[in-house]
Structure 1
Amino acid sequence: MNTNKDTITISMQARLDAVATLHNLSTCHHIMPSLVSSGVVSSLLQIIRSCEKPSQLVEKAIALLDDIVSSSKIPLKETAGTCGAIGALVETLEEGSMESKEHAVRILLFICQSCRENYGGLILREGVMPGLLQLKVDGTWRAKTMAEELLLLLRDCSSYGPSNQQSRNEVIEQIMQEIDAEGEEVAGSTALRLLAKLSIMQ
């Protein structure tokens, strides 16, 4: 029994060390293309999908993924096109540590900016709104800024059809205005109330 526990511990530490080493290598820009071609994006996404979100391993993996996808369009496109990747990022946005949430929203923002027509609706369908609105309330200043920028991009997304798009836009705009105008504690309850209204409109 102890041997199994030791094996699991060593395996986790080995993965932490491996991700940390890759992160150090990624600071050398001329090495980045080799990292991308080695399949590191797929490996990092697998870690993010399969591990507990509030963990050190996910923090390191998503931080490295953030660095990689911001380096060029190739890893960004690979991330966006990988099955389950957007869902895993949305889960991290909801359940991860504050640091992981900041990286997750940044990657989602990159993905949406790269082609809102292709990815905006998919991000919405993965249920990004609760985590995004919560981050707008209690995230770091940087995370709040990126959350607002992503909200603005998603506001005009026609994923749910034109019949109620204008109403959705108005609700999202109201959420953002009230969060900005109120204190965090009040804004949190306001966001949840308006989010419930938004869900009914689906």
Structure 2
Amino acid sequence: MLYRASKIISVPLMRLLWRPKVEGRGNVPASGPAILASNHLSVLDSFILPAVLPRPVRFVAKNEYFTGNPLTALWMRGMGTVSIDRENASAAQAMLDSAVEVLKAGELFGIYPEGTRSPDGRLYRGKIGVAWLALTTHAPVIPVAMMGVDKVLPPGATVPRLYRIGIRIGEPMTFAGDPGRARDRREVTDQVMEAVQRLSGQEYVPKYAASVKAAT
């Protein structure tokens, strides 16, 4: 009920304000589990991607989104977002455990391999959680590129701007390997990030975005 209501409100609004151009929508399977691995430019990414797809996409988000702005909290619940405590030392494993349950239920799970929003619009090195998920669940990984979303709501901005956005969805990728082997996780993650970079055209930085943010 909340999901349908959220879509009814958000889709016409986005079409009016940002005229999203979606390429490759047919690469998302009509049923069954899949991991949508996207670049991360703006807090709006988690609002826009589920709104342009016919199937619900489950993301995880920090608790603050559920306890702050009431409209944001309502949207998060409506879109089926999973709440986690990012201050908890076991938050990363909690996120992965939640993702496994989502995929076991045959749903779509969205993940940002960079782990945080890009500080400057470039694409940063992916963390290995996406590979662990793919190798553990055998769900296909679908690379996604969000484009122009950082122009709509740049870091520090509170009011969205008018700007046409784009979403490119790549073909599903399947992987074989041992989720417990570090080399396999790294290789799979790098292949996913290469696919995202081909779609987005972003400059790639072989560093973690979080470390770059911490240094500024």
Higher helix share goes to which structure? 1
Rg (Cα) greater in structure: 1
Between 1 and 2, higher relative CO (CA 8 Å, sep ≥ 6) is seen in 2
